[in-house]
């Protein structure tokens, strides 16, 4: 059984590693991909393509005035992430749930740092098969999605109403 301190240290390491990885990869993308043609790998399944996103997910709100974008995507997101962190710490959660929330907060915080510092987020990853492709994203976005998936699966596995293991009485 992990102590509260060891759990907190592990979560801080996960958050620091996620934010650090995102910051480094965005810096590399800005210095090596900006102004260059996109690079394609694995029969165009994976692409590296530099993009600056002043909006939110899939550039939502990119045409809003800069002050509104900063208020909503910078300050607003920071307040929501802080509230989410406080609520999570106040509720008894499983280790996978805590890890998922830590990844979600780390990814969100790294993107918020970009928005507050420069008014934009650097995106550079794109995956897909043929015409079916994702939007262009970054490591912080991967952390947000992975964290969300971990929380959803952890909730499903621990709920007597949804998990087959509980319904069978196993």
What dihedral do alpha carbons 98, 103, 104, 105 form, nearest 10°?
90
Mean pLDDT computed over 163-167: 57
Domain boundaries, the chain: 4-163
- For 135-163, write each residue's pLDDT tens digit: 999 999 999 999 999 999 998 888 767 65
**161 in active site:** no
* DSSP 8-class letter at 91: S
Find out whether 115 and 77 touch, Cβ atoms under 8 Å: yes
| Active-site position among 22, 44, 114, 123 | 123
**141 in active site:** yes
| Active-site position among 22, 114, 141, 161 | 141
- Does the pLDDT of residue 99 top 90, yes or no? yes
* Separation in Å, CA 41 to CA 17, 50, 63, 124, 143: 26, 15, 32, 13, 22
Find out whether 123 and 110 touch, Cβ atoms under 8 Å: no
- For 33-92, write each residue's pLDDT tens digit: 999 999 999 999 999 999 999 988 777 888 999 889 889 989 999 999 999 889 888 888
């Amino acid at each position: 059984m992990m102590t509260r301190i060891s759990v907190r240290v592990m979560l801080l390491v996960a958050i620091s590693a996620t934010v650090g990885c995102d910051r480094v990869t965005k810096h590399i993308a800005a210095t090596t991909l900006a102004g260059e043609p996109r690079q394609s790998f694995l029969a165009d399944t994976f692409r590296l393509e530099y993009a600056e996103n002043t909006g939110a997910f899939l550039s939502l709100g990119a045409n809003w005035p800069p002050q509104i974008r900063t208020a909503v995507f910078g300050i607003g997101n920071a307040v929501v992430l802080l509230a989410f962190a406080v609520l999570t710490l106040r509720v008894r959660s499983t280790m996978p749930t805590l890890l998922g929330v830590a990844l979600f907060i780390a990814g969100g915080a790294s993107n918020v740092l970009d928005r507050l510092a420069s008014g934009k987020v650097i995106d550079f990853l794109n995956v897909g098969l043929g015409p079916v492709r994702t939007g262009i994203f970054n490591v912080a976005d991967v952390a947000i999605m992975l964290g969300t998936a971990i929380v959803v699966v952890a909730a499903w596995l621990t709920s007597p109403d949804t998990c087959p293991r509980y319904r069978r009485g196993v």
